[in-house]
Amino acid sequence: MKMEKDIIPIEQIEGRIYTLRGKRVMLVSDLAELYGVATKRLNEQVRRNADRFPKDFSFEMENQDVAALKSQIATSNDASAGRGGRRYRPRVFTEHGAIMAASVLNSPRAVEVSVFVVRAFVQLRELALAHTEIRHKLNELEHKVSSHDQAIAGLINAIRELMTPPDPKKKRPIGFAPWHEGNGDN
């Protein structure tokens, strides 16, 4: 592939990958732009090859998905306010769906860009795994620190007990008690 270096930076593709329903997905419009085709053309090919796109490859967004997506990106005007919007619910593609889309489009650019799309998904997966490992290590460290904190607090309390003077008790005087007359022991 001669264009591999100058086609699309992976970071640019990563910026177009979102999380919906616990899956990493790309919007049909973003994928069509990357593949160099019109969104209408990509949707057409998906409809014509519906058996190649099961629900875990591609799905139409529901209202709650749109709301979740709005929280992840800055969106344009709300269609319900009468200021534009889409006529149909947008379609999204998982990593496997993006690869399948490239195969049904069968254009050289789609095939070439699909490699970069897959790399972006893989890089995000590795990043998520690294975050999971870091989270696990932090939890272990927190557990250790909290147990150390309890042990240190116990030591400090023991030292404080040793430092406090004992309560003054009435001590018996040292020596003999003076002889008192009249106690009848003579």
Specify the pLDDT at position 4.
46
| Total domains present in the chain | 1
What range defines the domain where residue 99 resides?
Answer: 10-73+87-125
Averaged confidence pLDDT in the chain: 77
Residue 41 resides in a domain:
yes
Model-wide pTM > 0.95: no
Residue 113 resides in a domain:
yes
| Residues 48-75: b if buried by 16+ CB within 10 A, e if exposed | eeeeebeeebbbebeeebbeebeeeeee
Q: Is 34 exposed, middle or buried (0-12, 13-18, 19+ CB in 10 A)?
A: buried
Residue 104 resides in a domain:
yes
Residues of the chain with pLDDT under 50: 1-6, 77, 79, 81-83
What tens digit of pLDDT does each residue of 25-44 get? Answer: 889 988 888 888 899 999 99
What tens digit of pLDDT does each residue of 92-120 get? Answer: 998 888 888 888 887 778 877 777 887 78
Residue 54 resides in a domain:
yes
